[in-house]
Chains A and B, each alone.
Chain A
Amino acid sequence: MKLVIKIFLFVFVSLITNVNIVSAAIARPNIHETTTSFSFNKKIPRDDFKVIENNLANCCQNEQNLVAYRNWGIGVEAIAAKGGSNIALGVREGLGPFAKSVNGSTWKTWGAADFESGFMGSINNPGNKIHFNLTGIDNPWSAISQGSKGFQKGGYTNWELFQLYSNPGALQRTTFYLNGKIVPSPF
């Protein structure tokens, strides 16, 4: 009886061992095949995507950090707003008195050395308030159409208006005026 049990155990163990060996033998070529196969190439982006997803998930797990980061951003804007200034824009005729009325500076201050970079720097400063005098501009939509061609072809003021139209952050900080009165944004 003992002998029968021993034989049975031997056969059983041998079978299991063989299966493992076969599995290993099968698995290796499969791995190799997968790495070189076309389908594996397709699989990589999916895996990467999952990794990115996981990283984002991990990143967003700490709500406190996100709130702190957002508050930090708001704080930076608030500091910038404190040190901000008024930017006066509009056609040349009447720009001086308009700038004075809004206590603003014109291109003669921030654009004297390099107009384009001076202008972009001024409107993109979140602390700056922008005041645009529409007086003298018959059709703002026509003006931005001209301005979209660049200030070389469209003229400085049209280009300025186009830049504000294209930049929601700056547009949000812009007050429009017509004949000395505040008017709604034409856009």
Chain B
Amino acid sequence: MNKEIFKSDRYFIVFDYLVSHGQLLIRSDKRKGGKENIDIIFFDTSFVQLFTMLFGITIRRVDKSKVANYISLNKYLSEEENNLFEIKSGEEKYYIAASFVRVFENQLEFNETSLGYENNGRENEIAGSR
């Protein structure tokens, strides 16, 4: 618990969401700070408390009691395979409840997403909660 899953000082934005399997994409675009995109994908995303523009990011899996007390959220987090992730950016901390997170590097263009069914942009996994 509280183990750092991923850290980057690049600029990230909430980029896309796909209802199937609750996939949430937070991307650092390759045009801003690197040769490749960094795509952070949360799966089975059920709760999001997040500023959509993040200057630097650190992701940790944290104790499930660390967030505001919502009945539906607590119910979700009571299931063993669901987790609470802390998103730290600067001095601020945000929270996402999801089952797991995976981080990829890819060369997708701005109008291309790594969410979906074809595993586009998911060939090179660089970090994850599993």
Contact = CB atoms under 8 A, between A and B. Distances in A.
Q: What is the interface of chain A mostly: helix, strand, loop, or mixed?
A: helix
Contacts of A156: 20-21
Contacts of A92: 21-22, 44
Given A114-B119, A152-B117, 7 more contacts: A92-B44, A96-B79, A97-B79, A108-B81, A109-B81, A152-B118, A155-B20
Q: How large is the interface on B (under 10, 10 to 19, 20 to 34, 35 or more residues)?
A: 10 to 19
Interface string A86-124: 000000100011001000001111001011000000000
B33 interface: no
Q: How large is the interface on A (under 10, 10 to 19, 20 to 34, 35 or more residues)?
A: 10 to 19
30 contacts: A92-B21, A92-B22, A92-B44, A96-B76, A96-B79, A96-B81, A96-B82, A97-B79, A100-B79, A106-B81, A108-B43, A108-B44, A108-B99, A108-B100, A109-B81, A112-B43, A112-B99, A112-B130, A114-B119, A115-B21, A115-B117, A150-B117, A151-B20, A151-B117, A152-B116, A152-B117, A152-B118, A155-B20, A156-B20, A156-B21
Interface of B: 20-22, 43-44, 76, 79, 81-82, 99-100, 116-119, 130
Q: What is the interface of chain B mostly: helix, strand, loop, or mixed?
A: loop
A96 B20 CA distance: 15
Contacts of B43: 108, 112
A156 B100 CA distance: 18
